[in-house]
Amino acid sequence: MAVLTGRARALLPLAVPALLVGIGSSLVLLALDAVAEGLQDVLWDGLPGVFGASGESPWWTLVVLTLTGIAVGLVVWKVPGHAGPDPATEGLVGPPIPVAVVPSLLVVTAFALAGGVSLGPENPITAVNIALAFALGVRLVPAISGESWLAMAAAGTIGALFGTPVAAALILSEMPLGKPGVPLWDRLFAPLVAAAAGALTTAWLSHPMIAFDLPAYRGPALADLLSSVLITLAACVIGLAAVYAFPHAHALFRRIRHPFVMIATGGVLLGVLGMIGGQITLFKGLAETGELLAHAPPYSAGALVLIIVVKLAALVIAATCGFRGGRIFPAMFAGVAIGMLAVTLVNTIPVSLAVTCGVLGVLVAVTRQGWLSLFAALAIVGDAKLLPVLCVAILPAWLLATGRPEMLVGGGHEPAGAKPAAGLA
């Protein structure tokens, strides 16, 4: 009797390509982060002193975000390829973009991350890694289909972003990859190898920060079920408000027509919002989440309401005026702020529960992906005791959000590729 079945022998050759794709995806992400962080240090720590200012000065925030809008607008306007398609029309995983677009997309993403734009790196870096893996893979190993290269690159990038392959498995399980009827784990074999390689590479070379130090959850209680449902529903309603504003903001910016003027105007508006909300409402939101949770004394209810409104407004403007970036990390920050607001209003609610439910509700509204929302909410705290409560809390929020518009203009795309890959078939 053979040790491996025919299906297993078909899957095994995909392991090495998937391993290489995962490592490469993580390295591209880490390189982008390093460049953006270096530029951020210059813009917010080095340059202000030259002008006798502080990086936290409101007028400096306006200047930097205005200049960021001008810089990104110039690249989108003048560089061939225009830094990829309209980001408001793209989800996290889309069809491969031309490789010629990759350099300009990386440049504008680094500018946005460094300049304080309220977007994360997840969408553009996933698009970049898919483009590179697809172009190289189809040429060098044509026996593996384009759809497999897409899935491996997406999984490797998601694994690197979240520091765990579990996130990639959950997200890809909601995508129609591979032939119908093929077992899920057969379809996920190669992507999971890529996701694990991406996550481990990031863990070895950097220190991914998703979980934050919060008081341990005591365990499910009857009162927590009601609190979790109410917080998650409230966060979902707030997230849906941003979702419904999204196409209207996009339409307003498209009336400007010229890409440079459109993005530069967005930069000015983001600068004004940053002056109102403070530096904590800038950037992708991960470091700012830690600052929000560690702030002593805690922010007042009024301050938290302002932070939530400003952050979501900045997210909508940034994603519709033409800046390249993702919407998951800023939405997570807004969810944390909603959870902190709930604790401020009712101090008997456990902080860990409130924060995870806030993230859960906003992500359900913004991403319309249940597994991603559950994983990201739980990852903020890293406490498995919250999972049963979250599985209850997500259900009313899902009923509220399902069937409603997504935070996307014009609908999504089916993954591109020639034919179902050996590893997905």
Helix (H, G, I), strand (E, B) or coil at 225: helix
- Alpha carbons 262 and 254: distance in angstroms, whole number: 7
The helices-and-strands tally (H runs, E runs) of the chain is 17, 0
Question: Per the omega criterion (within 30 degrees of 0), is the bond before 297 cis?
Answer: yes
pLDDT at 207: 67
Bridge partners, 326 (sequence order): 120
pLDDT at 137: 92
Residues 6+ apart with CB under 8 A from 403: none
**Tokens of residue 246, six digits:** 């999204």
Residues 21, 196 contacting (CB under 8 angstroms): no
What DSSP element (H or E) covers 374?
Answer: helix 370-381
Q: How many residues does the chain have?
A: 425
- Alpha carbons 86 and 118: distance in angstroms, whole number: 17
Cβ neighbour number for residue 170 with a 10 Å cutoff? 20
Question: Per the omega criterion (within 30 degrees of 0), is the bond before 180 cis?
Answer: no
**Tokens of residue 52, six digits:** 């006798």
Mean pLDDT of successive 10-residue segments in the chain (425 residues)? 68 87 95 95 89 84 96 88 73 87 93 95 94 93 87 92 78 67 74 91 78 80 91 97 95 92 96 94 90 83 96 96 92 96 93 95 92 87 87 94 88 36 35
Residue type, 326: G
Residue type, 327: R
Helix (H, G, I), strand (E, B) or coil at 120: strand
Residues 292, 280 contacting (CB under 8 angstroms): yes
pTM: 0.89
- Alpha carbons 308 and 91: distance in angstroms, whole number: 23
pLDDT at 33: 93
- Alpha carbons 278 and 392: distance in angstroms, whole number: 35
- Alpha carbons 337 and 306: distance in angstroms, whole number: 10
Residue in the structure block whose two tokens are 């399902």: 402
pLDDT at 40: 94
**Ramachandran quadrant class, 297 (left: phi over 0; alpha: psi -120 to 50; beta: rest):** beta
Cβ neighbour number for residue 408 with a 10 Å cutoff? 20
pLDDT at 415: 32
- Alpha carbons 209 and 224: distance in angstroms, whole number: 27
Handedness of CA 371, 374, 377, 380 (dihedral sign): negative
N- to C-terminal Cα distance for the chain?
A: 24
The DSSP-derived string for 281-333 is GSSSSHHHHHHHHH-SSPPPHHHHHHHHHHHHHHHHHHHHHT---BSHHHHHH
Helix (H, G, I), strand (E, B) or coil at 4: coil
